[in-house]
A and B are shown apart, each in its own frame.
Chain A
Amino acid sequence: DSGVTQTPKHLITATGQRVTLRCSPRSGDLSVYWYQQSLDQGLQFLIQYYNGEERAKGNILERFSAQQFPDLHSELNLSSLELGDSALYFCASNAPNTDTQYFGPGTRLTVL
């Protein structure tokens, strides 16, 4: 158990819908990273937050957005879903001044 929690574990929805994925980092970690894992694109970095502020942006679509709340949990919002958005979505956290990231168990999103 990494100490990073993600909910829900599975999500099945239809095209055009909007979903919210939630992540709680390890106690004391200020950074949260979101990654997408799909068969064709592999593991891709989406976005990073540090202590409530956006720190870095990767290959995140405009239909996707995220935020980190004062209690440091983070939410990834995916809207106008397409079939190609079906993937595993992971969040990870790390402590300040360390590079090892601890991953949550992921949310498997299936868009039908």
Chain B
Amino acid sequence: SQQGEEDPQALSIQEGENATMNCSYKTSINNLQWYRQNSGRGLVHLILIRSNEREKHSGRLRVTLDTSKKSSSLLITASRAADTASYFCATVHSGNTPLVFGKGTRLSVIA
């Protein structure tokens, strides 16, 4: 069963704008990860944030984690058409255990 929900389910923005996606989860976690999936293809790992971290950056990506609210957000700055994809958050309860995925946000970046 899904750990949580992403919000919004779908997002459409213009190239150059920022995109923010939110993820909520239900139980305590060891870490939270964001993955990207291009249409019908494999998932690509973007970033991992541990439960004792509050913010992490990787290139144009910024992830925040609020364990008190059991939520995370993914910010993609200066979006490009190539960022068009589905984005999933996934939680890990303890080390080396399966990912529990949310339902994903479908991002469309219009050139």
Contact for A48 among B35, B40, B98, CB less than 8 A? B98
- Is A101 positioned at the interface, with any CB of B under 8 Å from its CB? yes
Interface segment, one of A11-19, A74-82, A104-112:
A104-112
Given contacts A35-B99, A43-B90, 19 further A-B contacts (CB under 8 A): A4-B42, A31-B96, A42-B101, A45-B98, A45-B99, A48-B98, A92-B43, A92-B99, A98-B96, A99-B31, A99-B95, A100-B45, A100-B48, A101-B45, A102-B45, A103-B35, A105-B42, A106-B41, A108-B40
25 residue pairs of the A-B complex, CB under 8 angstroms, read: A33-B98, A33-B99, A42-B2, A42-B102, A42-B103, A42-B104, A43-B88, A45-B100, A56-B97, A56-B98, A90-B43, A92-B43, A92-B99, A96-B96, A97-B95, A99-B30, A99-B31, A99-B92, A100-B48, A101-B45, A103-B42, A104-B42, A105-B41, A105-B42, A106-B40
